[in-house]
Copies of this chain bind each other. A is one copy, B any other.
C-alpha cells in the first residue's frame, strides 16, 4: 500500500513517467511512505468510453 488507480484519457509514456515520479514523491513527502510501497495503475479511457453531462466524450467534442 498505497495503491493509486488513475482513470484518465490516454497520455504518452514520457508524461506518465513524470507523473509517476511526482505522485510517488507526494506520498514520500506527505505520508513518509517508502517509494517502493507506492504502486500506480494508469487506466486509460478513450473519449467514446467516457461521458459527462449525459454525453459521450466524442459527442461533446463534436458540438
Binding site for B on A (CB under 8 A): 1-9, 11, 13, 15-27, 29-31, 35-36, 38-45, 48-56, 58-59
Contacts and interface: CB of A to CB of B under 8 A. Distances in A.
Contacts of A23: 23, 26
11 contacts: A1-B8, A2-B9, A15-B30, A16-B49, A16-B56, A18-B30, A20-B56, A24-B51, A40-B51, A41-B49, A42-B49
Given A2-B8, A5-B7, 9 more contacts: A2-B7, A2-B9, A7-B41, A13-B58, A17-B55, A17-B59, A22-B25, A24-B51, A39-B51
Q: This chain: how many copies in the complex?
A: 6
Given A3-B7, A6-B3, A53 B26 contact: no
